[in-house]
Amino acid sequence: MQDNFSANFANLSHLDSQGQAQMVDVSQKALTIRQAVAAAQVRMLPTTLAAIQAGNTPKGDVLATARIAGIMAAKQTANLIPLCHPLPLQKVEIQIIADEQLPGYQIQATVKTKAETGVEMEALTAVSVAALTLYDMAKALEKSMQIESIRLISKTGGKSGDYFPPTGTSN
């Protein structure tokens, strides 16, 4: 029984031979430049979007606060996601763009490092926390806002190669 169990978990990097979660040993991997881009959106009423755009919100600058929160979140990913490695981040860029068609905001995070492992989780954490902060900063205007479509847009570098979503998927 144990042999079958071990064989089933042999190819899963975050599980040991007993099926228990473990942090992957990346010490033998080469330092390479790695970048990930993630996105999310926050859907809201047109009146909420207009108030944020006008700077007419009770808590202050919604977008600047969300941008800083996203940057801070990327830097704290290893403290939030149990099996993530702490990484030296060389770049964290957060873009928050008004989208009247949504209506709401499109959020994108670009994270870059030179390390043994990738930064997908840092980019995803950054957009998630930026979206949550945008919600928090504007919830006095509207509690029905929706955080949607948190996703990886691209990843470059590393052993597994580059990733771009298949053609025809919405990003």
Binding residues for substrate: 83-85, 121-122
Burial 5-39 (b: 16+ CB within 10 A, else e): eeeebeeeeeeeeeeeeeeeeeeeeeeeebbbbbb
Closest CA to 105 of 142, 155, 75, 59: 142
Residue tagged active-site, from 3, 25, 61, 136: 136
d(CA 136, CA 82): 25
Active-site residue, 3 included: no
Binding residues: 83-85, 121-122
Point out the residues that are catalytic. 136
